[in-house]
Amino acid sequence: DADVTQTPRNRITKTGKRIMLECSQTKGHDRMYWYRQDPGLGLRLIYYSFDVKDINKGEISDGYSVSRQAQAKFSLSLESAIPNQTALYFCATSTGVVREQYFGPGTRLTVT
Amino acid sequence: DAKTTQPPSMDCAEGRAANLPCNHSTISGNEYVYWYRQIHSQGPQYIIHGLKNNETNEMASLIITEDRKSSTLILPHATLRDTAVYYCIVRSHMRETSGSRLTFGEGTQLTVNP
């Protein structure tokens, strides 16, 4: 079984709809991240969390919110989706000791 | 974090060693060199990292020059499944307040040919 899972894997939604992307991990890591990837722009950090009570904005947090329900779960919400939020979204985890980040398989989101 | 420069693309024959270069001439003393790869539209995958000394793991070897201004990732026996975009990233372990953000540049598209 995968260590970092994301649901859904693909989603098409309409402008103005609320949508939630979920991430779960079995690695036991305390740190979790949400990134989006657009063609030609690389990965950009949306939000990150160092533990359940710690939530921080990344470089492009506007239009997004997150919830860290447990150490193993980190959800990303788009309160009112807009077309320029169409992208590939990745969740990642790491620890404070082992700095490398482990990524989920991604969620392809299309906002029409 | 220091800027990195990589060739946009490289080809390698299956079974041969793939040597991927990275320049990071502005690297500072506390910054590590990380390598990740991304197979088309999949999540990025950590490969290896190092500070000063050469490193080897089950996936690859990392050779860092003595002045630390450049490095080379070596895949000793490339397979078709190694076809991916390879990213060289330089980052400090001390900048935790920045969220440990990974800044991916353009990377190198490695194509392994049969």
State yes or no: pLDDT of B97 exceeds 60: no
Separation in Å, CA A41 to CA A27, A35, B13, B16, B87: 28, 12, 29, 31, 13
Looking at the complex, does the CB of residue A11 fall below 8 Å from at least one CB of chain B? Answer: no
Looking at the complex, does the CB of residue A48 fall below 8 Å from at least one CB of chain B? Answer: yes
Q: Would strands B31-38 and B45-50 be described as parallel, antiparallel, or unpaired? A: antiparallel
Chain B contact set for A31 (CB, 8 A) = 100
Arithmetic mean of pLDDT over chain B: 90
Residue A96: partners with Cβ closer than 8 Å, 6 or more residues away: A30, A31, A50, B96
Instruction: Mark residue B58 as left, alpha or beta (left: phi above 0; alpha: psi -120 to 50; beta: remaining).
Output: alpha
**Mean pLDDT over residues B29-57, rounded?**
92
Chain A contact set for B44 (CB, 8 A) = 43, 90, 92, 101, 103
pLDDT tens figures, A42-79 = 788 999 998 898 999 998 999 999 999 999 999 999 99
Show which residues on chain B lie within 8 Å of chain A, measured between beta carbons: 32, 34, 41-46, 49, 93, 96, 99-106
